[in-house]
């Protein structure tokens, strides 16, 4: 006897005409690996991404309130006569992962979260909850570098040309060319002359030009906040993630800013207390810097019934990373430095280790 639920075991596509598709109809079995192959331009992406994944995402978005939908990208319905029995689709592409300086392989896979809990339970001396081992939490991050692992210094000669006056274009920072808004803010501040070459500035004028803290000034009928050039550069550029900057801004930062490992934490990003707690002679920073294959061996040597389920989950996760060919990475590797293929495999481990079931995973040319 035909059971009604059995008809839901396939994704039914009828009359797909998205992009270069020509009235394609087919059934795709669920809970199976289905491979779409063909020459470039044959319509693989139009069917898988432009039709199946796009419609699944559109239908999920429609379940949200109108207020939430207003913040989501607008998606039209794919050009298809019918799509039936769709499940939630997750696209695992080869796009590089977000360029957040606080994101690492460990944070992207939740391996760091598990490792922090292990250290909070078994590390000696005991220093507190798992957040005490997190460089993204106030009680775990290095107070000097605030969990970044690096400190910066600025080369003044990359900001200004001492042989010129402000009216001659002495400021070489992007956005500060003569007659721009930022240039006018500097020139009209009244703290120094715009006609004097910078090399002839007094010590006080140099301090006002470069280091003055924000202060309210009035130029004509305009009120605005003035701050020194270095102060402003630190606020507008150094507080942002480098990889998220525009190309010309990134090039300027690379010239003007020198990054070195934090002298307090040695680049580990963690507080002294977090670095003092150890398991089998290793602290959490040293574990995170290991190759994942070596870390998996280290975790296997830990035997404590109180955290046995957690250790088993961490071992499985690390083994998955090794099996998929990422054993040479470390958990502290910044996610923004991964290649497209490495990023895709990290995403695969993260998603396929999820507790969700009956999900359609769409892999873009997995390697």
Query: Residue 347: pLDDT above 90?
Result: no
Query: Alpha-carbon distance 124 to 333, whole Å?
Result: 25
The enclosing domain of 145 has a CATH number of 1.20.1580.10
205 shares its domain with 354: no
330 shares its domain with 273: yes
Domain total of the chain: 3
Would you state the pLDDT for residue 351?
Answer: 81
Lowest mean pLDDT among 80-84, 97-101, 243-247, 324-328: 97-101
Residue ranges making up the domain that contains 162: 153-260
| Model pLDDT for residues 11-24, shown as the tens digit of each residue | 899 998 998 888 88
- The enclosing H or E element of 222 equals strand 222-226
The enclosing domain of 206 has a CATH number of 1.10.8.280
From residue 162, alpha-carbon distances to 159, 170, 182 in Å are: 10, 7, 18
| Model pLDDT for residues 173-229, shown as the tens digit of each residue | 888 889 998 898 888 888 999 999 999 999 999 999 998 988 888 887 888 889 989
Q: ω into residue 311 within 30 of 0, thus cis?
A: no
Which residues make beta-bridge pairs with 83? 13
Q: Angle between the 340-352 and 308-321 helix axes, to the nearest 10 degrees?
A: 150
Q: Do the domain assignments include residue 120?
A: yes
163: CB partners within 8 A, 6+ apart = 197, 198, 199
269 shares its domain with 133: yes
Query: Residue 356: pLDDT above 90?
Result: no
Q: Do the domain assignments include residue 332?
A: yes
Coil, helix or strand at residue 341: helix
Would you state the pLDDT for residue 7?
Answer: 61
255: CB partners within 8 A, 6+ apart = 155, 158
């Amino acid at each position: 006897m035909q059971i009604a639920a059995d008809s839901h075991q396939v994704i039914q596509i009828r009359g797909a005409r998205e992009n270069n598709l020509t009235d394609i109809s087919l059934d795709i079995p669920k809970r199976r690996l289905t491979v779409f192959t063909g020459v470039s331009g044959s319509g693989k992406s139009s069917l898988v991404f432009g039709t199946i994944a796009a419609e699944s995402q559109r239908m999920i978005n429609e379940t949200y309130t109108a207020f939430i939908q207003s913040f989501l990208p607008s998606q039209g319905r794919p050009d298809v006569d019918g799509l039936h029995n769709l499940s939630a689709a997750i696209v695992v592409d080869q796009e590089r992962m977000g360029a957040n300086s606080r994101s690492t392989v460990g944070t992207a896979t939740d391996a760091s979260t598990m490792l922090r809990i292990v250290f909070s339970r078994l590390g000696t001396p005991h220093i507190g909850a798992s957040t005490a081992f997190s460089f993204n939490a106030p009680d775990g991050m290095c107070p000097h570098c605030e969990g970044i692992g690096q400190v910066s210094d600025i080369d003044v000669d990359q900001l200004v040309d001492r042989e010129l006056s402000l009216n001659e274009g002495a400021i070489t920072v992007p956005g500060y060319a003569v007659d721009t808004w930022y240039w006018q803010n500097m020139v009209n501040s009244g703290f120094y002359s715009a006609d004097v070459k910078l090399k002839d500035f007094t010590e006080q004028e140099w301090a006002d030009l470069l280091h003055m803290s924000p202060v309210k000034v009035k130029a004509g009928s305009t009120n605005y906040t003035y701050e020194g050039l270095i102060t402003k550069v630190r606020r507008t550029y150094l507080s942002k993630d480098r990889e998220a900057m525009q190309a010309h801004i990134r090039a300027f930062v690379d010239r003007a800013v020198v990054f070195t490992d934090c002298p307090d934490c040695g680049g580990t990003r963690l507080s002294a207390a977090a670095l003092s707690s150890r398991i089998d002679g290793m602290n959490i920073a040293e574990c995170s810097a290991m190759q994942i294959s070596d870390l998996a061996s280290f975790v296997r040597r830990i035997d404590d019934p109180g955290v046995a389920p957690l250790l088993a989950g961490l071992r499985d996760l690390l083994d998955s990373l090794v099996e998929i060919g990422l054993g040479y990475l470390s958990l502290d590797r910044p996610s923004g430095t991964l290649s497209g293929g490495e990023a895709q495999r990290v995403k695969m481990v993260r998603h396929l280790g999820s507790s969700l079931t009956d999900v359609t995973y769409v892999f873009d040319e997995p390697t």
